[in-house]
Structure 1
Amino acid sequence: MTDTPHDESRGASLGTRLNWLRAAVLGANDGIVSTAGLVVGVAGATGSRSALLTAGLAGLLAGSMSMATGEYVSVSTQRDSQKAALAQERRELRERPGAELDELTDLLAARGLSREVAREAAEQLTRRDALRAHANVELGIDPGSLTNPWHAAGASFLAFTAGAVLPLLAMVLPAASLRLTVTVLSVLAALALTGWWSARLGAAPASRAVLRNMTGGAVAMGVTYGAGVLLGAAGV
């Protein structure tokens, strides 16, 4: 059975939601790894709670703002491209509607419809909403649901912050003798969870994703802690 533009739009909407959820999980994962690496590195150089809190908060804010800015720029560029494509399609529909109807017919026929059925479907879709039909079938764009760059930036900011808070609190709240152990264990547990969830969203094997995520986080913390110890010993 051939998918209709409505079915494709619904599928695209579901795909968009899954992509947003996957991006949120990955954003939280970035917050966990980068902040954990930072505070563990500082802990290798000093046991000062105020220094750890300052470094952790600075890393959290810098990382979350960087993520938000990058996402805003990326989505704004994508949105501008989509709006330009829609403007061109709107102009073509106004200037040569017959050719656009033929084009829509060809596109539908290429998806498995007979020529007669494709023509009838193209005419009905054109009468209902010509721009939406061409945008969905020809461009893969839903004119009514263009991504908002501010929403994307806010989501990235919150996702990174949510991930970064865990290692920061794990490092500054426990007693000095327990800080490193609590932080490493809580970070590895959180990375196991985000690895599992990202694999679940992508329908991939969870065990490899979890192991890869935990290994990456462990290496990052080990490297930064070693660097911190060396710098602390050198009195830098």
Structure 2
Amino acid sequence: MRALSSHRERHVTDRIGWLRAAVLGANDGIVSTASLIIGVAAAGGQVAAIVIAGTAGLVAGAMSMAAGEYVSVSAQADTETAELARERRELTDDPRGELAELAALYAARGVDDATAETVAAQLMAKDALGAHARDELDITPGARARPVQAAFASAASFTVGAALPLLTVFVVPSTSLVRAVAAGSLLFLAVLGAVGAKTGAAVVWRGLVRVTFWGAFAMAVTALIGRLIGGAV
């Protein structure tokens, strides 16, 4: 019997957890901090007030992103753990029923009954819990929830993203601050969208346009509100 030749492929599903958190954090850092700076500047705030507001937004946002990611991803991880524990008990209490259940899943996908039962038996002989986790619960090792990783990725990426528009305040004249922060932030967002799409093996232009559009919309709304409030007070 001829041995099966190995065919190695590179997939990006193992990046899903940290990539989502990193892109979300960096995008939120750029958009929220740039919008905050533009809003305060449009309201007539002095440079010192803008720097304080931007710095406070950076620190508070990074902590909020870390806490929010940790809590939400922990809830997902707890659910996955509970489901795996339940499946482990069922495999102990009713192995034949679990075998039939797994075979039925393969049969529903188009495999004939005899082959489905054979495949299910072989997979369960090697790793019963892994087979059920993957094919019944849709839980794979590369996509498992990692709360600490997600929290650190979100906080770090938010800090980097927020630092970009904040640093712009120190290098441009106050008279052109709003335009410079807006233009720089849109450039950063475009790069972020392209890099995120490229890392995730998605369409680059689509990720770029999506991120840039919503960033521009958020900054425009904040600038408008800042001008209205600044004129009112």
Which TM class, normalised by the smaller chain length?
0.7 to 0.9
Tell me how far 1:44 sits from its aligned partner.
Answer: 2.0
* Further displaced range: 67-76 or 32-41: 67-76
Identity %, equivalent residues: 49
Given the superposition, is the C-alpha separation of residues 36 and 229 from structure 1 closer, same or farther in structure 2, using an over 3 Å criterion?
A: same
Q: Any idea what the Cα deviations from partners look like across 1:56-108, whole Å, max 9, x if unmatched?
A: 01111222222222211111111111111111111111111111111122222
The aligned counterpart of 2:34 is 36
Given the superposition, is the C-alpha separation of residues 115 and 211 from structure 1 closer, same or farther in structure 2, using an over 3 Å criterion?
A: closer
Which stretches in structure 1 are left out of the alignment for 5+ residues? 1-9
1:224 aligns with 2:230: no
Q: Look up the equivalent residue of 2:32 and give its one-letter code.
A: S
Indicate which of 184, 187, 192 corresponds to 1:186: 184
> Does the Cα contact within 8 Å between 1:172 and 1:179 map onto a contact in 2?
no
Tell me the TM-score normalized by structure 2.
0.83
Q: Any idea what the Cα deviations from partners look like across 1:137-168, whole Å, max 9, x if unmatched?
A: 11111368732211111111112222111111
SS in 1 for 2:111: coil
The aligned counterpart of 1:163 is 161
> Does the Cα contact within 8 Å between 1:135 and 1:143 map onto a contact in 2?
no
Given the superposition, is the C-alpha separation of residues 142 and 42 from structure 1 closer, same or farther in structure 2, using an over 3 Å criterion?
A: same
1:53 aligns with 2:32: no
Tell me how far 1:212 sits from its aligned partner.
Answer: 4.8
Tell me how far 1:34 sits from its aligned partner.
Answer: 0.8
The aligned counterpart of 1:154 is 152
Whole-angstrom distance in 2 between the partners of 1:196 and 1:143: 27
Tell me how far 1:16 sits from its aligned partner.
Answer: 4.5
The aligned counterpart of 1:172 is 170
Whole-angstrom distance in 2 between the partners of 1:144 and 1:203: 18
| Aligned Cα root-mean-square deviation (Å) | 2.8
Mapping 1:1-236, distance limit 5 Å: 14-18=12-16, 20-46=18-44, 48-142=46-140, 146-198=144-196, 201=200, 203-204=202-203, 206=205, 210-235=208-233
Whole-angstrom distance in 2 between the partners of 1:226 and 1:136: 50
SS in 2 for 1:35: helix
Whole-angstrom distance in 1 between the partners of 2:122 and 2:115: 11
The aligned counterpart of 2:4 is none
Tell me the TM-score normalized by structure 1.
0.82
Given the superposition, is the C-alpha separation of residues 111 and 87 from structure 1 closer, same or farther in structure 2, using an over 3 Å criterion?
A: same
Q: Look up the equivalent residue of 1:26 and give its one-letter code.
A: L
SS in 1 for 2:175: coil
Given the superposition, is the C-alpha separation of residues 215 and 110 from structure 1 closer, same or farther in structure 2, using an over 3 Å criterion?
A: closer
SS in 2 for 1:139: coil
> Does the Cα contact within 8 Å between 2:21 and 2:150 map onto a contact in 1?
no
Which stretches in structure 2 are left out of the alignment for 5+ residues? 1-8
Whole-angstrom distance in 1 between the partners of 2:126 and 2:207: 46
* Further displaced range: 208-217 or 131-140: 208-217
Whole-angstrom distance in 1 between the partners of 2:13 and 2:127: 23
> Does the Cα contact within 8 Å between 1:47 and 1:176 map onto a contact in 2?
no
Whole-angstrom distance in 2 between the partners of 1:143 and 1:97: 23
> Does the Cα contact within 8 Å between 1:25 and 1:198 map onto a contact in 2?
yes
Given the superposition, is the C-alpha separation of residues 128 and 61 from structure 1 closer, same or farther in structure 2, using an over 3 Å criterion?
A: same
Q: Look up the equivalent residue of 2:67 and give its one-letter code.
A: T
